[in-house]
Amino acid sequence: MKHEKFVVSAPTRCDLAGGTLDLWPLYCLFGRSRTINVAIDIRAICEFDCQPNTQQVVEIENSQGVNFSFAPNQKGLLPEKAPKELKFPTAIVCRFFAQQPVEKGFKLKIKIETQAPVGSGLGGSSTLCVALVRGLSHLNGKYEEADWRWKMLNWVRDAEAEYLKTPTGTQDYLAAIFGSLSCFNYQVGEITHESYLPSVVEELNSRLLVLFSGEMHHSGLSNWEVFKKAMEGDTNVLSGLKSLHEVAETLHQELLLKSVDWKKIGSLLTKEWNIRKTTLGVNTQRLDQIIKFLETQSVFGVKVCGAAQGGSLLALVDPQRKQQISEACSAQSIRVLPAQISSFGVRIN
């Protein structure tokens, strides 16, 4: 490999509606499902520095200075030997080089940073996976074709599922790949991407408030548990998923209107959360307290981020009161995340 130095960044996301339904084959239960999310500029960042070398060496280092060096072609369970903070990125790098071997020697240093709080429900690990793989593919010329986004989606989905040993949805990767406000349409045989008018994106950005509860993912049904119960025919879970499907469809149609009623969009977010809370058991005392407080601030609507659990919340507010509400949240020890909509997805600088 030649000497190259570059930075890759990818946005995390807030889901508006249809989370969990991005998990195969749950969307097949309804013929077609939609997941609507918005990419935000709380990013995963990977700095790559690759130089020719006599041997093949990779060093990964996080923003806390924890590092791990290894030979990617070495046999053995390398991820298990890595520090716990680096097990996941090590697994992704090892899997990539196992499938895309390089003959010549190189020394590759990757510095990683995930700006999303741990356990925030914003898709931080999946976003990191996208940034890592985009950088690795840049080094060996993979995923350069016109439809690279969909091919890379398949790879990162499978690689993370291999690591987690559970099925994974795809909305986190898709938001990181495409950016902006998007609707992803899931139907038998394909996933398609649909964008919204720039004016709608701008209006949402002025009303968007992202908060972190301070809690990591708490007890509730994980994607795997939802998956199992749905496949076993649990009527309560299936009813909840159908209701989530209907909310996503309604929200999508509302966002397509020339004049968007943001109070109605907010009410749909609240409805989506209430379905999850009732059906999937994902609320915690802290989340309930924050939502109750936000209701006293007359927000348009609020939901917790993440398909089944999450420590972050998305609220829609009157843009004229956004600063006031942010300050009120801070006074209640509710962390306001500096989130703006990211107009672009994963990018190499």
**Cα 164 to Cα 234: distance, rounded to the nearest angstrom:** 24
In a shared domain, residues 182 and 249: no
Tell me the longest C-alpha to C-alpha distance in the chain.
Answer: 64
In a shared domain, residues 226 and 322: yes
In a shared domain, residues 160 and 265: no
> What is the residue whose two structure tokens read 């915690």?
284
In a shared domain, residues 15 and 63: yes
In a shared domain, residues 247 and 147: no
Task: For residue 215, give the CATH number of its domain.
Answer: 3.30.70.890
In a shared domain, residues 324 and 310: yes
In a shared domain, residues 234 and 276: yes
Q: Give the chain's domain count.
A: 2
Task: For residue 126, give the CATH number of its domain.
Answer: 3.30.230.10
In a shared domain, residues 236 and 264: yes
99-116 tens-digit pLDDT: 888 888 999 999 999 999
In a shared domain, residues 249 and 264: yes
Query: In the Cβ-directed half-sphere of 297, how many Cα atoms lie within 13 Å?
Result: 29
147-170 tens-digit pLDDT: 899 999 999 999 999 999 888 899
Please report the pLDDT score of residue 219 as a whole number: 42
Alpha helices, DSSP H only, in the chain? 78-81, 87-99, 124-140, 148-164, 171-178, 198-207, 223-231, 235-255, 262-280, 285-296, 322-331
155, two tokens: 């790879």
Q: Which residues constitute the domain of residue 113?
A: 4-194+344-348
In a shared domain, residues 156 and 296: no
pLDDT tens string for the chain (349 positions)? 789 999 999 999 999 999 999 999 999 999 899 999 999 999 999 999 999 999 999 999 999 999 999 998 776 567 788 999 999 999 999 999 998 888 889 999 999 999 998 888 899 999 999 999 999 999 988 777 778 999 999 999 999 999 998 888 999 999 999 999 999 999 999 999 999 999 999 999 999 999 999 887 654 457 788 889 999 999 999 999 999 999 999 999 999 999 999 999 999 999 999 999 998 878 888 899 999 999 999 999 999 998 556 589 999 999 999 999 999 999 999 999 999 999 999 999 9
**Cα 184 to Cα 169: distance, rounded to the nearest angstrom:** 12
In a shared domain, residues 179 and 217: no
- R_g (Cα) of the chain, nearest Å: 20
In a shared domain, residues 93 and 173: yes
Q: Phi, psi at residue 273, to the nearest 5°?
A: -65, -40
